[in-house]
């Protein structure tokens, strides 16, 4: 796909992380984490999404996207929405914020500004790190990837995601 077409995914993820940070700052994540029913629902939505995405990777055979030669162009909006949904349903982000905020926020100072700065910093670091990953992946893809290797990568990725979904489904956490 190249680097530029991946940007909607990167920014969708960042917006999802920002939503999670805002929910945590407003105390919603603390409510979800402490409510057994809401936490279970949140976990099952995330588990279902992982299972769906893993199955999609295994079942759907995609051709390697060569720069400028996409057989079936991927829409930026679809990439953005998929990344946003993945980030918003990822319990890791909520737990990260819930663990981080009490440790670093000063209750004597304006909490909204402190929370916003932490969320912005986390999102900016995510954009930078995902951009570096995308650039590195593009570099490797152009030099090393064949259709056969890509198919194996997709299947292995799908199996790993299904494994994580199973672990989440079977865990009592």
Structure token digits, residue 60:
């759907």
Domains of the chain by residue range: 4-170
Q: Is the pLDDT of residue 154 over 80?
A: yes
Determine contact, residues 98/24, Cβ cutoff 8 Å: yes
Q: Is the pLDDT of residue 19 over 90?
A: yes
**Mean local confidence (pLDDT), 157-163:** 94
What's the pLDDT tens digit per position in 104-117? Answer: 878 788 888 888 99
Structure token digits, residue 42:
């949140």
pTM over 0.85: no
Q: How confident is the model at residue 12 (pLDDT cuts 50, 70, 90)?
A: very high
Q: State the pLDDT at residue 169.
A: 86
Q: State the pLDDT at residue 33.
A: 67
CA–CA separation, 131 and 3 (whole Å) = 8
Determine contact, residues 1/70, Cβ cutoff 8 Å: yes
What's the pLDDT tens digit per position in 55-105? Answer: 999 998 777 766 555 555 678 999 999 999 989 888 778 778 877 877 787
Q: Is the pLDDT of residue 13 over 60?
A: yes
């Amino acid at each position: 796909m190249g680097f530029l077409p991946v940007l909607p995914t990167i920014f969708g993820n960042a917006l999802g992380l920002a939503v999670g940070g805002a929910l945590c700052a407003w105390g919603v994540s603390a409510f979800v984490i402490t409510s057994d029913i809401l936490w279970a629902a949140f976990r099952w939505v995330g588990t279902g999404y992982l299972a769906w995405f893993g199955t999609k990777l295994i079942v759907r055979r995609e051709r390697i996207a060569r720069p400028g030669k996409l057989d079936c162009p991927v829409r930026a909006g679809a990439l953005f929405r998929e990344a946003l949904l993945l980030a918003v349903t990822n319990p890791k982000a909520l737990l990260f914020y819930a663990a981080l905020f009490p440790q670093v926020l000063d209750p004597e100072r304006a909490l909204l500004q402190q929370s916003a700065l932490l969320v912005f910093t986390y999102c900016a670091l995510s954009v930078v790190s995902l951009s570096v990953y995308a650039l590195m992946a593009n570099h490797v893809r152009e030099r090393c990837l064949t259709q056969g290797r890509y198919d194996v990568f997709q299947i292995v990725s799908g199996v790993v995601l299904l494994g994580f979904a199973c672990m989440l489904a079977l865990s009592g956490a």
